[in-house]
Amino acid sequence: MNRIARNLADGREIIYFDERPVPRDAVDGRDLPPVVAASEIRLDPLTREWVAMAAHRQSRTYKPPADLCPLCPTKPGHPSEIPEADYDVAVFENRFPSFSAGVPEGQTTVDGLGVVPVAPGRGRCEVVCFTSDHDRSFAELSPRRVRTVVDAWADRTEYLSTVDGVRQVFPFENRGEEIGVTLHHPHGQIYAYPFVTPRTERMIEVARAHLAEYGSHPLGDVLAAERRSGARLLARGEHWTAFVPPAARWPVQVRVVPHRQVPDIAALTAAERDDFAEVYLRVLRSCDALYGRPLPYVAAWHQAPVHRDRELCWLHLELFSVLRAPDKLKYLAGSESGMAVWVNDATPEQIAAKLRSAWSA
């Protein structure tokens, strides 16, 4: 992989990850104003969870026509966020970040009353473009290209983990309008949070208790049980296994888990990265075949916090979809939204059987 870093017209960094050496000398000739981010985080006093406020994102790009896509390569008369005429994988700082290193320092409380802490939303948000082809999807990438994406995720995880104030690095992909995607070019994002996320805090708490009681990691035990059972298994490689979680919340939900406990993507070996590409592509292609249409989904990497409890975390990817039928969505209604108690219309065994059948059809 060939890695070249450049800067956009407003000073934001862009990094090209190429599968062969390519000169990257194109200049971003746009007249762009400086990025202004006013992010802050507030601590909910009832749950002790941080909530981010990023009102400047209201003006972000929203469903542009394909010929004006800001993630396609630059063409004559149509400059984009990617100055080059072509690329393999490109990563750049988000122009409308939820978290930014440029947010002023300072800490206070809401209305100065000392009840709700407020802190600057310092961090970094990046966009990861998986291919220059606007009409492709991740499922249509080659294994080699997926490996390049994995290497880019690893590179960014390693770097962002060194950024002052960053506590956790979260690569993810949102796909489909039903998920809320406003740019259709195949891409994902990386959030570098100034706190450890609530989901990760809960998994660390559970892992600590499980280790104390059983001497093992809960995800390791689940992985071993799923490989023995096979009832919810979707794909198995030399280093990774994909299965529907035995307590799946979503109408389509898959975990892709490495056989070796590692804290983050950067810790994966070359063989593990190659095998992930094969296993994950099978999962995605099964998902797209399920309803005979591109499946809207969120694909979320669970990585360890940067500075603590890394031995209690087990890297894995979780993919889930709100689509419960070709033309029906699962809405988060009263129980899910109000009480975080999930009700699934299908059993995990049924979900797995449908995905396996879709793959073999």
At residue 209 the predicted structure's pLDDT band, cuts being 50, 70 and 90, is: very high
Tell me the average pLDDT across 74-78. Answer: 93
Q: What pLDDT does residue 54 have?
A: 84
Tell me the average pLDDT across 113-134. Answer: 95
Q: What pLDDT does residue 198 have?
A: 96
CATH architecture of 2-197: 2-Layer Sandwich (3.30)
Q: With 90 as the cut, is the pLDDT of residue 317 above it?
A: yes
Q: With 60 as the cut, is the pLDDT of residue 326 above it?
A: yes
Strands 49-53 and 89-93: unpaired
Q: What pLDDT does residue 57 have?
A: 65
**Taking the alpha carbons of 180, 182, 185, 190 in that order, is the dihedral positive or negative?**
negative
Given this chain, do its domains 2-197 and 199-360 carry the same CATH topology?
yes
For residue range 167-199, what is the model confidence (pLDDT) as tens digits? 999 999 999 999 989 889 999 999 999 999 999
At residue 34 the predicted structure's pLDDT band, cuts being 50, 70 and 90, is: confident
Q: What pLDDT does residue 360 have?
A: 77
Point out the catalytic residue in the list 184, 187, 307, 316. 187
Q: pTM for this one?
A: 0.96
Rounded to an integer, what distance in angstroms lies between the CA atom of residue 124 and that of residue 119?
A: 15
Query: Which of 268, 288, 259, 277 lies closest to 176, judged by CA?
Result: 288
Question: Which residue positions form the known binding site for Zn(2+)?
Answer: 69, 72, 134, 185
Q: With 60 as the cut, is the pLDDT of residue 62 above it?
A: no
The answer to whether domain 199-360 has CATH 3.30.428.10 is: yes
Active-site residue 187, yes or no? yes
Rounded to an integer, what distance in angstroms lies between the CA atom of residue 157 and that of residue 263?
A: 11
Q: What pLDDT does residue 306 have?
A: 98
Question: Which residue positions form the known binding site?
Answer: 69, 72, 134, 185
Domain boundaries defined on the chain = 2-197, 199-360
